[in-house]
């Protein structure tokens, strides 16, 4: 069971969580619980790091930001004990959750948890702070924002769980963010592949890596709400959204429990920034000069457009990077100005990426053109486009995000009937 930040925000809510956990344990289950920091806490801690040192050392950042989960795991164990349950916390370094790669965005390598499993077998509920790991150097590491989802899936795989239930503040995965589109529909099931794509283009209900890991390890994953009354139906009856394999989805469609659509869901992402380099030489190697230093600095480049060369053998190159990396990327490009040979750097953080996702588009033409037509009918200008086998993304002005998502939700016939 995993509980997110809103579910853990304050002792009152932690008591509700403890009651849900107790009910699962009382049903005869061995339970491991993964918790997030209280809502807003990680942001607060990140800000402290920025104030202390704008160019903070990621290893020390991890020391600071991992503390939010330490607090909630201890508090949940205490609350469970107050309800008469046997429970104890297992911090990332105690299990241990071994991680690799850079601090602040570490990746889980292995979880070998014999002691924790032994304690669970003895009837003790294991409470694990999400987000935390132990680096190869023996230091505290964190898994990147939203990483508690990945902790939960990794723990589920490590203990051989029957299911991993991700409890959050919505009752499942919707066709789009239900906080933006009131007519969003809850999906009974969504395939790993589609969920992976939706998460990677901004549907923050699950961290992308958690979905990839669940797919790889075959972890059964459910998203459901922790904001339910005592009379709510049990998680075992699958009230939320199940993340399923293609085969399971085929069965659901055959049984008439799911419909097949070209577009399954729509996501938006306001966390990217656009960089334009003007008058780059239009010759072999020029683009490599731009992107190699960014790759070396672990800055992820997403959309890329190289305009048709102008007459003087020059071209503009436009691409997006995470907003958090914009300053670093800009500094790095300035540094390489002579090698790259551009004229100006223009940046813009006021952009959004809107994506439509669905396995149905593999075999159906016209999904992209519907997108372009619907947006243009509302006067929304498209600044860049990118596609994959099951996704079309466009870059637009950030102010038009909500309008674009609503328009597309209607255009693809996803609106719930009232």
Q: Is 202 in the site for ligand ASP (CB under 6 A)?
A: no
* H helix runs in 323-381, sequence order: 326-335, 337-340, 367-377
DSSP code of residue 10: S
Candidate residues 92, 146, 202, 265; the one interacting with ligand ASP per rule CB under 6 A: 146
Q: Measuring CA to CA, which residue among 377, 414, 418, 370 is closest to residue 392?
A: 370
Quick one: three-class SS letters along 89-108? ECCCCCCCEEEECCCCCCEE
To ligand ADP, the closest distance from the beta carbon of 210 in angstroms equals 10
Taking each helix axis from N to C end, the angle separating 67-82 and 58-65, rounded to the nearest 10 degrees, works out to: 20
To Mg ion, the closest distance from the beta carbon of 105 in angstroms equals 15
Residue 358's binding partner out of ligand ASP, ligand ADP, Mg ion, none, with CB under 5 to 8 Å set by partner kind: none
Strands 304-306 and 314-322, by their bridges, are antiparallel
- Residues 274/318, Cβ–Cβ less than 8 Å: yes
Candidate residues 92, 130, 146, 240; the one interacting with Mg ion per rule CB under 5 A: 146
Q: Is 129 in the site for ligand ASP (CB under 6 A)?
A: no
CA-to-CA separations, 298 to 51, 105, 113, 321, 325, in angstroms, rounded: 23, 10, 31, 11, 9
- Residues 97/112, Cβ–Cβ less than 8 Å: no
Q: Which of 277/356 has CB closer to ligand ADP? A: 356
Q: Is 5 in the site for ligand ASP (CB under 6 A)?
A: yes
- Which listed range, 142-150, 178-186, 209-217, 249-257, lies at the site for ligand ASP (CB under 6 A)? 142-150
Site for ligand ASP in 318-377 (CB under 6 A): none
Q: Is 265 in the site for ligand ADP (CB under 6 A)?
A: yes
Backbone phi, psi, residue 182, to 5°: -65, -25
Site for ligand ASP in 13-72 (CB under 6 A): 36-37, 42, 68
To Mg ion, the closest distance from the beta carbon of 166 in angstroms equals 8
Instruction: Find the residue with minimal CB distance to ligand ADP.
Output: 4
* Integer Cα distance of 38 and 228 in angstroms: 19
Candidate residues 119, 176, 208, 393; the one interacting with ligand ADP per rule CB under 6 A: 176
Site for ligand ADP in 190-209 (CB under 6 A): 203-205
Q: Is-cis flag, bond preceding 96, omega within 30?
A: yes
Binding residues for ligand ASP (CB under 6 A): 4-5, 36-37, 42, 68, 130-131, 145-149
Binding residues for Mg ion (CB under 5 A): 4, 146
Binding residues for ligand ADP (CB under 6 A): 4-6, 36, 146, 168-170, 173-174, 176-179, 203-205, 265
């Amino acid at each position: 069971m995993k509980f997110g930040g809103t579910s853990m925000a304050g002792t009152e809510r932690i008591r509700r969580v403890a009651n849900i956990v107790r009910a699962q344990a009382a049903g005869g289950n061995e339970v491991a619980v993964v918790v997030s920091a209280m809502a807003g806490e990680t942001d607060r801690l990140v800000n402290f790091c920025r104030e202390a040192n704008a160019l903070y050392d990621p290893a020390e950042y991890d020391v600071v930001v991992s503390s939010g989960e330490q607090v909630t795991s201890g508090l949940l164990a205490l609350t469970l004990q107050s309800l008469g349950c046997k429970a104890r916390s297992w911090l990332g370094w105690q299990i241990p959750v071994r991680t690799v790669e850079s601090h602040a965005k570490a990746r889980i390598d292995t979880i070998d948890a014999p002691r924790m499993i032994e304690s669970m077998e003895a009837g003790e509920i294991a409470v694990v702070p999400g987000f935390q790991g132990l680096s190869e150097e023996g230091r505290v590491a964190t898994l990147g924002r939203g990483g508690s989802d990945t902790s939960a899936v990794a723990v589920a795989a490590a203990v051989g769980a029957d299911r991993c239930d991700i409890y959050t503040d919505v009752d499942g995965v919707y066709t789009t963010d239900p906080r933006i589109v009131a007519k969003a529909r809850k999906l009974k099931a969504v395939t790993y592949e589609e969920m992976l794509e939706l998460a990677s283009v901004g549907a923050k209900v699950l961290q992308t890596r958690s979905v990839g890991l669940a797919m790889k390890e075959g972890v059964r994953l459910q998203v459901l709400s922790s904001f339910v009354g005592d009379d709510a139906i049990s998680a075992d009856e699958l009230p939320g959204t199940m993340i399923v394999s293609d085969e399971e989805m085929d069965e659901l469609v055959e049984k008439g429990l799911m419909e097949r659509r070209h577009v399954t869901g729509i996501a938006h992402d306001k966390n990217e920034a656009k960089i334009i380099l003007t008058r780059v030489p239009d010759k072999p190697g020029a683009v490599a000069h731009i992107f190699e230093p960014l790759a070396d600095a672990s800055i992820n480049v997403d959309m890329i457009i190289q305009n048709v060369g102008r007459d003087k053998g020059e071209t503009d190159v436009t691409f997006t990077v995470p907003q958090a990396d914009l300053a670093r990327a800009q500094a790095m490009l300035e540094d390489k100005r002579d090698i790259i040979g551009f004229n100006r750097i223009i940046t813009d953080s006021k952009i959004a990426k809107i994506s439509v996702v669905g396995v149905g588009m593999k075999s159906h033409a016209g999904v992209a053109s519907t997108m372009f037509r619907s947006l243009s009918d509302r006067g929304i200008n498209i600044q860049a486009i990118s596609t994959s086998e099951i996704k079309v993304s466009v870059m637009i002005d950030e102010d038009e995000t909500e309008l674009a998502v609503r328009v597309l939700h209607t255009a693809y016939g996803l609106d719930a009937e009232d």
